[in-house]
Amino acid sequence: MVPATRLGLRDVVDEAVAGMLARPGRAGLTVLGTLLGVAAFVTVLGLTTTVEGQISNRFTALVATEVLVQDTTDQPDAGTAFPDDAEQRLTALNGVRSAGLFWEVADPGPLAARRPTAQEPGENLKVLAASPGYLRAIHARLSSGRVFDTWHDAEHQRVVVLGSGAAGRLGITWIDEQPAVFIGGTPFVVIGIIDDVDREAGTLLSAVVPAGTAEAAWGAGTGTRALIDTEIGAAQQVGDEAPLALRPEEPNRFTTITPPDPRELREGVTTDLGTLFLTLAAVCLLIGAVGIANTTLVAVLERVGEIGLRRALGARRRHVAAHFLAESGTLGLIGGLIGTSVGVAAVVAVAYLREWTPLLQPATVLPAPLVGALTGLVAGLYPAWRATRIEPADALRR
Amino acid sequence: MTAPPVVEFARVTRSYPGPPPVRALHEADLMVNPGEYVSVTGPSGSGKSTFLNLVGLLDRPDGGVYRLDGIDTAALADADRTALRGRRIGFVFQSFHLLRHRSVLENVKLALIYTSVNRRARTALALETLDRVGLTHRVYARAGHLSGGEAQRVAIARALVNRPSLLLCDEPTGNLDSANAAAVLALIGELNASGLTVLMVTHDQQVAGRAHRSVLIKDGFLR
């Protein structure tokens, strides 16, 4: 009997490469589909990881270390629930870096850099009353001067620290000559200008006066809150302890707003973004696969004569199938390799532009070219099957 | 011991269901012995293509016996028929069927990739065969850049490279001018003179006249 015909693996690869090189333009366009799919796949997964990391970083740095304590009493004449030494009590808690009370002064009058007149009554800016710890808790950074301290607070000194936005509105840019601002007609010495803060950004558009001074000038405040800056990981515990520390006999007077558990938040973000982006990536890959399937099918129909020739030369149906599957798989692999590179580059570029740290999981990047190859193989299944159904006698007649 | 006939047709029949149903070949008998040069002629629609497909193992008969090199092909599975076709039959087509984007050498080597010839030996075998058809100077030319005569000689080299028992030619000069046609026929004649069995299907009586023996096919009957 005559030995069976065979097709070695190297021959399969050689023939696939030769088939692609015979039509480089078409091969390039076919690769483009998978390339875009895999690039989208790697990009969205890479960006998901990067954004997760970014959220985690910001969350850890700021949100996770912030606790807000509010008085739950809704009666204005009930008096403040916070004791006089509230700042000291809160600061004494383990895990607290700084804490301070603050409230917005109701109707303090307009602010002006000169004594207000009927023609120039001044600017309507927010006036915050705050204990000294508040400015530390919001991470106030000064462009000039200093912040007030417990002495200013206790002695009801008429001093004010301006946020950069408020200072700009009042035309005060430097304080070497101790300029004064008039709040409701009462002069206050400007001792510092806040350049930036990490929390309570509204402070930048406000004038901040010591809490004791504000009480002396405008009476006890309403809506008093305590802002606590904690160590990383201490927020939950500080939030539990703060009401007891402030008012052991009546802790229910307070509600605390603590950040959600970072692990839960992160998992939530991961799940939501991951599902969305994976769906997008899958759609991209599907489009790429349809592109390959379409092009390979067209190639099969165009190369009917070649298929007939190969069959006449001894190729079995499975050899013809292997030939077209190898072509589509190789196209997918090339698209996968280039797409992975493009995806990685895109993640790094976005991260660079947004000043993030790019994070790419090896489990995402390394199998991506294989995902491309697999896409190509799956896309080539139907065209390859069609190729095997072509009868050599019919094919050679064309 | 006497070698068996290369081609042995006994009452071979082939019909197509249609519609309308067509009996393309009627109980055809033919014997082609080793070293013979036989032409099969006939007008269009006479059954030449059906005959060629059956001899080339590209199609199966409905009835009768077809032996190639003494092997009864009726009982063979597809894979065995493919192997027999790849190893024992060399095809030469009217339209050459070359891969235009590949070199002459690669086109000839294409016939060797399915027949388990090791990769190193392929180039030597292909070059040797190209020398035989007088194309050593065009080895690295692209098939798409060849003249018609050159292209047909490459196709003949591809048909010969596996050392087949039978060279099966389908209108080998149909796409050639008279000068190239004469050169190709001369080459086929030389190959036959060296012992190769040739079966040529053509409608051209002049071409058929080059064969030692001519068989007429008309309305599916072989005479």
* Residues A70-77, mean pLDDT to the nearest whole number: 71
Chain-chain contact of B101 with A22 (C-beta, under 8 angstroms)? yes
**Residue A72 included in any domain:** no
Q: Are residues A367 and A225 part of one domain?
A: no
Chain-chain contact of A5 with B115 (C-beta, under 8 angstroms)? yes
**For residue range B74-91, what is the model confidence (pLDDT) as tens digits?**
889 999 999 999 999 999
**Residue A182 included in any domain:** yes
- Chain A positions in Cβ-Cβ contact with residue B99 (cut-off 8 Å): 22, 306, 309
* Residues A317-346, mean pLDDT to the nearest whole number: 92
Residue of A nearest to B93 (CA): A396
* Residues A259-281, mean pLDDT to the nearest whole number: 64
Q: Is the pLDDT of residue A271 over 80?
A: no
- Chain B positions in Cβ-Cβ contact with residue A393 (cut-off 8 Å): 49, 53, 58-59
297-356 of A, contacting B, C-beta below 8 A: 305-306, 308-317, 319
Chain-chain contact of A316 with B56 (C-beta, under 8 angstroms)? no
Helix (H, G, I), strand (E, B) or coil at B205: helix
**Interface contact A17, partner B, CB < 8 A:** no
Contacts of A126 (CB under 8 A, 6+ apart): A104, A166, A202, A205, A206, A207
Q: Are residues A371 and A278 part of one domain?
A: yes
**Residue B58 included in any domain:** yes
Determine the distance in angstroms separating the CA of A340 from the nearest CA of chain B, rounded to an integer: 31
**Residue A75 included in any domain:** no
In angstroms, the CA A174 to CA A152 distance is 21
Tokens at residue A267, please? 């998992």
Predicted TM-score (pTM) above 0.80: no
Residue of A nearest to B160 (CA): A313
Q: Is the pLDDT of residue B122 over 90?
A: yes
CATH number at residue B120: 3.40.50.300
The partner residue sitting opposite B88, judged by closest CB among A2, A21, A310, is: A2
Last residue of a domain, one of A249, A278, A298: A249
- Chain B positions in Cβ-Cβ contact with residue A10 (cut-off 8 Å): 119
Q: Is the pLDDT of residue A264 over 80?
A: no
Question: Looking at the 3D structure of chain A, how many domains does it have?
Answer: 2
Q: Is the pLDDT of residue A80 over 80?
A: no
Q: Is the pLDDT of residue A263 over 60?
A: no
| β-strands A126-130, A206-210 pairing | parallel
B24-41 residues labelled b (16+ CB within 10 A) or e (exposed): bbbebebebebebbbbbb
In angstroms, the CA A89 to CA A67 distance is 15
**Interface contact A257, partner B, CB < 8 A:** no
Q: Are residues A237 and A374 part of one domain?
A: no
Q: Is the pLDDT of residue A397 over 70?
A: yes
Helix (H, G, I), strand (E, B) or coil at A137: helix
- Chain A positions in Cβ-Cβ contact with residue B106 (cut-off 8 Å): 18
Residue of B nearest to A305 (CA): B97
Going by pLDDT thresholds of 50, 70 and 90, the confidence category of residue A191 is very high
Going by pLDDT thresholds of 50, 70 and 90, the confidence category of residue A274 is low
| β-strands B37-41, B213-218 pairing | parallel
**Interface contact A11, partner B, CB < 8 A:** yes
**Interface contact A3, partner B, CB < 8 A:** yes
Contact B167, B137 (CB under 8 A): no
Check residue B155 and give its pLDDT: 95
Residue of B nearest to A20 (CA): B101
Determine the distance in angstroms separating the CA of A381 from the nearest CA of chain B, rounded to an integer: 21
Specify the DSSP element, H or E, that contains B132: helix B119-132
Ramachandran quadrant class, B24 (left: phi over 0; alpha: psi -120 to 50; beta: rest): alpha
In angstroms, the CA A118 to CA A109 distance is 13
* Residues A147-172, mean pLDDT to the nearest whole number: 92
The partner residue sitting opposite B79, judged by closest CB among A309, A316, A397, is: A316
Chain-chain contact of B113 with A392 (C-beta, under 8 angstroms)? no
Check residue A362 and give its pLDDT: 87
Q: Which residue has the higher pLDDT, A373 or A75?
A: A373
Chain-chain contact of B85 with A312 (C-beta, under 8 angstroms)? yes
**For residue range B96-117, what is the model confidence (pLDDT) as tens digits?**
999 999 999 999 999 999 988 9
Tell me which of A181-190, A266-275, A383-392, B55-64 is least confident. A266-275
Check residue A58 and give its pLDDT: 58
Tally C-beta pairs within 8 A across A and B.
91
Chain-chain contact of A4 with B84 (C-beta, under 8 angstroms)? no
Chain-chain contact of A314 with B87 (C-beta, under 8 angstroms)? yes
Residue of A nearest to B57 (CA): A312
In angstroms, the CA A193 to CA A174 distance is 8
**Residue B116 included in any domain:** yes
Going by pLDDT thresholds of 50, 70 and 90, the confidence category of residue A78 is low
CA neighbours within 13 Å on the CB side: how many for B47? 25
Check residue A232 and give its pLDDT: 80
Q: Which of A20, A309, A320, A323 would you mutate first to test chain B, the one with the most B CBs within 10 A?
A: A309
Determine the distance in angstroms separating the CA of A369 from the nearest CA of chain B, rounded to an integer: 28
Last residue of a domain, one of A201, A216, A249: A249
In angstroms, the CA B104 to CA B135 distance is 9
Contacts of A258 (CB under 8 A, 6+ apart): A67, A235, A236, A238, A239
Going by pLDDT thresholds of 50, 70 and 90, the confidence category of residue A61 is low
**Residue B165 included in any domain:** yes
CA distance from start to end of chain A: 32
Going by pLDDT thresholds of 50, 70 and 90, the confidence category of residue A316 is very high
Give just the sign of the alpha carbon dihedral A80, A81, A83, A89: negative
Contacts of B141 (CB under 8 A, 6+ apart): B103, B104
Check residue B222 and give its pLDDT: 86
Check residue A273 and give its pLDDT: 63
**Interface contact B82, partner A, CB < 8 A:** yes
Domain containing A201: what range?
82-249
Alpha helices in chain A (DSSP H): 9-22, 24-61, 86-91, 132-137, 150-154, 164-170, 211-218, 235-246, 262-302, 304-312, 317-353, 362-365, 368-388, 392-397
**Residue A308 included in any domain:** yes
Chain-chain contact of A22 with B71 (C-beta, under 8 angstroms)? no
In angstroms, the CA A176 to CA A184 distance is 24
* Residues A166-178, mean pLDDT to the nearest whole number: 86
In angstroms, the CA B96 to CA B171 distance is 10
Tokens at residue A129, please? 């009353």
Mean pLDDT of chain A: 86
Determine the distance in angstroms separating the CA of B6 from the nearest CA of chain A, rounded to an integer: 15
Nearest CA-CA partner of A324 in A294, A287, A290, A299: A299
**Residue A73 included in any domain:** no
Chain-chain contact of B99 with A22 (C-beta, under 8 angstroms)? yes
Going by pLDDT thresholds of 50, 70 and 90, the confidence category of residue A45 is confident
Mean pLDDT of chain B: 91
Domain containing B165: what range?
7-222
| β-strands A254-257, A111-112 pairing | unpaired
Q: Which of A13, A306, A317, A396 would you mutate first to test chain B, the one with the most B CBs within 10 A?
A: A396
**Residue B1 included in any domain:** no
AA identity, residue A23: R
Q: Reading across the β-sheet that carries B213-218, which strands appear in turn?
A: B89-92, B166-170, B197-202, B37-41, B213-218, B221-222
Q: Are residues A344 and A233 part of one domain?
A: no
* Residues A324-331, mean pLDDT to the nearest whole number: 91
Q: Are residues A244 and A313 part of one domain?
A: no
Q: Are residues A244 and A178 part of one domain?
A: yes
Q: Are residues A126 and A179 part of one domain?
A: yes
Nearest CA-CA partner of A262 in A234, A301, A293: A234
Could you identify the residue written with the tokens 């292997």?
A: A322
Question: Looking at the 3D structure of chain B, how many domains does it have?
Answer: 1
